[in-house]
């Protein structure tokens, strides 16, 4: 196979500061073994998130200069609106400062006590916003999605049988909406098939329940559909995206992912009454409906980024660069969620460190070791992020113990990625010596951001 090269040249660079292993021991201890508490200057390769960390293109930077900062009716808003509308065909497009602001607005209006929101898998901020509004989130991931080593094309699919059953059990009147995350971030960045989206949408129609898409990584999902689903081989990503959104009544979006923007998001929907309520709340919390918490220049960057992300040379390189890490890990049998997803490699910490039980946080321990070994920063997606306590204070563990290494868009080159694979493999070779953690400080909601740990 011919090398797939980065489809861009580099015009502006940012230095990386190198640290020694001895320095990293102190850095990690001072950060209470929580990657979120490490200073960015102390990280060599930062794979904490692909969110807001993209490199913008020269066109986007040009758009920044063109940004119209008018309070109301800005030109930049209309360019943004036109682009979002061309992809989603939604009637009401509401800019927000990021994905969770869209969630906060949507779920405070539709949620509340006794309500249930059903998903393939809710992302942590989505679940938190649902719970904060007093409602409950229900994840109904398909069986394939729960088996990390199983190779299957659409492991992000929702379980359709469970969806219908849950609607009947909980009662239509208690389900304000169903929301599908594409790709499924918390479940390995795995894609959802068009057939699954269409079928889920039909079930929702049957019960008159609005069907939403959490669209953060829609382009990556559409590329997988083109690669893996019959009938889409010859369609453009734009056409596939249009079909995907055609099944939805609305969407939430963080433009910090598949729009290459460093900040931004939106809410889009077809229901006028709901849109008016959202806009009213937007004005109180975010800003006037033609800027919604963003500068005009941000709206320009998003509008341009949304078009660039659908270019196939880019997506081919993007998806291959993630798969490339997986290929390297396969040479020594490092366990990870297979096949690799759209934006990250998810190491399977349960299989990597089978001697560490869930209540000693194997994912967190693995994150610590990757940092110590090579200054690589990833994030735990496991019992630290999603674990709960039962009435007796015993840990209810998350279904999977993962470490996500998310690859920022257009930021790192192949040699950076080679280095990351080397670091993982070195840690894998000494895995028996790694010890678990205990939590010494935590908050009730989204504890992973601020929790403090001690090594056991």
- The residues binding ligand F0G (CB under 6 A) are 49, 51, 98-100, 123, 125-126, 181, 185, 214, 216, 254, 256, 265
Q: Where are the beta strands (DSSP E) in 193-295?
A: 211-214, 250-254, 265-269
Least separation in angstroms between residue 22's CB and ligand F0G is: 30
**How far is the C-alpha of 307 from the C-alpha of 237, rounded, in Å?**
10
**How far is the C-alpha of 282 from the C-alpha of 280, rounded, in Å?**
5
Least separation in angstroms between residue 51's CB and ligand F0G is: 4
Q: Which is nearer to ligand F0G, 108 or 185 (CB)?
A: 185
Angle, CA of 324, 330 and 331, to the nearest 5°:
105
Q: First CA to last CA across the chain, in angstroms?
A: 46
Least separation in angstroms between residue 244's CB and ligand F0G is: 15
Q: Which is nearer to ligand F0G, 57 or 185 (CB)?
A: 185
Q: Which is nearer to ligand F0G, 265 or 339 (CB)?
A: 265
Read off the DSSP letter of residue 184: B
**How far is the C-alpha of 375 from the C-alpha of 19, rounded, in Å?**
7
Q: Assess contact for 446 and 124: CB atoms under 8 A.
A: yes
Residue 304: CB partners within 8 Å, gap ≥ 6? 57, 59, 60, 63
**How far is the C-alpha of 447 from the C-alpha of 211, rounded, in Å?**
30
Q: Which is nearer to ligand F0G, 111 or 265 (CB)?
A: 265
Least separation in angstroms between residue 45's CB and ligand F0G is: 16
Least separation in angstroms between residue 25's CB and ligand F0G is: 26
Q: With CA atoms as reference, report the closest residue to 125 among 245, 37, 256.
A: 256
Q: Which is nearer to ligand F0G, 123 or 412 (CB)?
A: 123
Q: Where are the beta strands (DSSP E) in 8-135?
A: 45-46, 92-96, 116-119
Least separation in angstroms between residue 126's CB and ligand F0G is: 5
Least separation in angstroms between residue 83's CB and ligand F0G is: 18
**How far is the C-alpha of 189 from the C-alpha of 83, rounded, in Å?**
25
What percentage of the chain's residues is helix, strand, coil (to nearest 5)? 45, 15, 40
Q: Which is nearer to ligand F0G, 406 or 434 (CB)?
A: 406
Q: Which is nearer to ligand F0G, 67 or 293 (CB)?
A: 293
Least separation in angstroms between residue 176's CB and ligand F0G is: 18
Q: Which is nearer to ligand F0G, 287 or 357 (CB)?
A: 287
Select the residue whose beta carbon is closest to ligand F0G and give its number: 99
């Amino acid at each position: 196979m011919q090398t797939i090269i980065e489809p861009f040249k580099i015009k502006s660079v940012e230095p990386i500061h190198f640290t020694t292993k001895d320095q990293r021991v102190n850095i990690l201890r001072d950060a209470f073994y929580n990657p979120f508490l490490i200073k960015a200057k102390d990280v060599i390769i930062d794979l904490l998130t692909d969110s807001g960390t993209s490199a913008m293109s020269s066109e986007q930077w040009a758009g920044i200069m063109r940004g119209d900062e008018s309070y109301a009716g800005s030109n930049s808003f209309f360019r943004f609106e036109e682009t979002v509308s061309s992809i989603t065909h939604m009637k009401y497009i509401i800019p927000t400062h990021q994905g969770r602001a869209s969630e906060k607005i949507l779920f405070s209006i539709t949620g509340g006590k006794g309500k249930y929101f059903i998903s393939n898998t809710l992302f942590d901020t989505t679940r938190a916003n649902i719970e904060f509004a007093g409602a409950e989130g229900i994840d109904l991931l398909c069986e394939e999605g729960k088996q990390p080593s199983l190779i299957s094309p659409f492991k992000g699919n929702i379980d359709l049988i469970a969806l219908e059953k849950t609607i009947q059990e909980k009662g239509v009147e208690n389900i304000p909406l169903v929301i599908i995350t594409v790709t499924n971030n918390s479940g390995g960045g795995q894609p959802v098939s068009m057939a699954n989206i269409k079928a889920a949408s039909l079930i929702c129609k049957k019960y008159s329940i609005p069907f939403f898409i959490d669209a953060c990584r829609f382009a990556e999902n559409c590329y997988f559909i083109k690669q893996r689903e019959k009938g889409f081989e010859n369609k453009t990503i734009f056409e596939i995206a249009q079909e995907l959104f055609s099944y939805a009544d609305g969407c939430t979006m963080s433009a910090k992912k598949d729009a290459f923007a460093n900040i931004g998001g939106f809410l889009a929907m077809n229901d006028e009454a709901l849109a008016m309520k959202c806009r009213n709340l937007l004005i109180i919390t975010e800003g006037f409906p033609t800027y919604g918490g963003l500068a005009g220049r941000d709206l320009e960057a998003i509008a341009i980024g949304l078009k660039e992300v659908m270019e196939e040379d880019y997506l081919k390189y993007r998806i291959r660069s993630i798969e490339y890490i997986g290929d390297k890990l396969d040479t020594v049998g490092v366990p990870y969620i297979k096949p690799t997803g759209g934006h990250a490699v998810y190491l399977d910490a349960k299989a990597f460190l089978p001697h560490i039980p869930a209540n000693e946080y194997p994912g967190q321990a693995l994150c610590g070791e990757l940092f110590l070994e090579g200054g690589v920063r990833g994030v735990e997606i496991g019992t630290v992020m999603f674990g709960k306590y039962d009435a007796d204070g015993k840990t209810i563990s998350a279904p999977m113990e993962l470490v996500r290494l998310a690859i920022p868009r257009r930021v790192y080159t192949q040699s950076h990625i080679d280095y990351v694979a080397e670091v993982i493999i070195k840690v894998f070779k000494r895995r028996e010596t790694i010890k678990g953690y205990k939590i010494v400080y935590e908050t009730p909601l989204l504890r992973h951001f601020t929790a403090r740990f001690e090594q056991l």
